[in-house]
Structures are given as structure tokens and as C-alpha cells.
A and B are shown apart, each in its own frame.
Chain A
């Protein structure tokens, strides 16, 4: 069974950096794309980007390109989403999700990581 376990909730101040994680298990982590999805409070889902852990090929949504960095450490089956300088508008729930069935849909999701940015 595919499982994605995300790191815990974070409370940060504007301008701080942050890296959240998503550990995969139950499948060959290096063989399938894994992505990140943002959900702002009371809003819908937004596709941020995906990474292929096997070779670190990464694709970003233009809305998030340059705002976040997606990476992966295949040795520990973990994907990351990081910010160098957080803004209040980054306050949201962030989900990781895998594409272990096909590269055209997210078939397994992490539990979500709530990021709160407030002074």
C-alpha cells in the first residue's frame, strides 16, 4: 500500500525559510512522479509542481516557479518543498501526492502540512 507521510504543522514569521517533507513508502519511490498541491484557507486546489525522484527532473507551475523549490532525496524516499523567504500569503495547507499509477493523476495523497506565516 502506498503511503505518504508529511512533516508536521509549522508556524513561521515572514522572511523566514522553511522546508517541509513527504516520505513515501510501499512503492518504488524513484520510479514515479511526486507532486505538491497548495490549498489556501477556504479555497481550492492548486497544482504547484512535480519531481521525478529517479533523476530529479522537476516541473513547476508558472505561478510557483521561483517562489518555491521542489527537491527529493531518493536515498530516504523523501520529497521536499522549500521556501527561502516566506510571506503571509504562503499560509496554506500543502499536500504531497504521488503518481504511482500513471503520470496523469495523483493516486495517493499525504495527510497535508499546515504552514502558517504570521508576524
Chain B
């Protein structure tokens, strides 16, 4: 099972919106509404930002939103802030082993 495909880097200016894509297959992203997104700052543990494609955990800013179309899921960060600079990983449940797969990761830079 290969990692889900994400762009290596995405950048934007403060206040702008950016979107990170996460492309899989019909066996994972396209087949289930079980896509989640994680934010990881340098030297820190990952943090859940989005689950079940579109849902936000309590405490996560509503500037973060998720969506999916076919085999590609997306995370949009609106009103980009300096604190959003981090690595972002998508993940999906998959019908084949190993049950769950992470994306390759995207580094978000706030210009």
C-alpha cells in the first residue's frame, strides 16, 4: 500500500487561503468517508485537525475545512496565519492492508 499523494509544499501570504490535496484510490480515499488530517509543528506530536472528511474536533479553528471529490481529499486553510506554518498529513482508512495509510506530507509555509 503506497502512501497517499500530497504536494511536497504549499505556501501563501497571511490572510490568504490555501488548499492541500491528498490523492488516493477507490480502495481508500474514494471508497470511504474516513479521511483525516493532522498538523505537525517541528518537534511536536501530530494533532488531529479534520476527521471523517469534513468534521472538525472541538477546539480546532473553523479556518480549517475538509472536502473530498472522487479519489482526492482536500484541506483548506482560510485566513492563513503564521501559526499555521507546519507539516500537514492526510490519512485514510483502506480496505486493503495495512488498514490505514498516511499521506506523504505537505509543508505549509506562510510567506
Give me the interface of A with B, judged by CB distance under 8 Å.
Answer: 37, 44-47, 49-50, 59-63, 95, 97, 101-102, 104-112
Contact = CB atoms under 8 A, between A and B. Distances in A.
B48 A95 contact: no
B38 interface: yes
B85 to A, nearest CB: 17
Interface in B46-62: 46-48, 51-52, 57
Interface of B: 1, 3, 32, 34, 36, 38, 40, 45-48, 51-52, 57, 89, 91, 93, 97-105
Contacts of B101: 47
Nearest to B104: A44
Nearest to B96: A62
Contacts of B40: 45
A62 B97 contact: yes
A105 B34 contact: yes
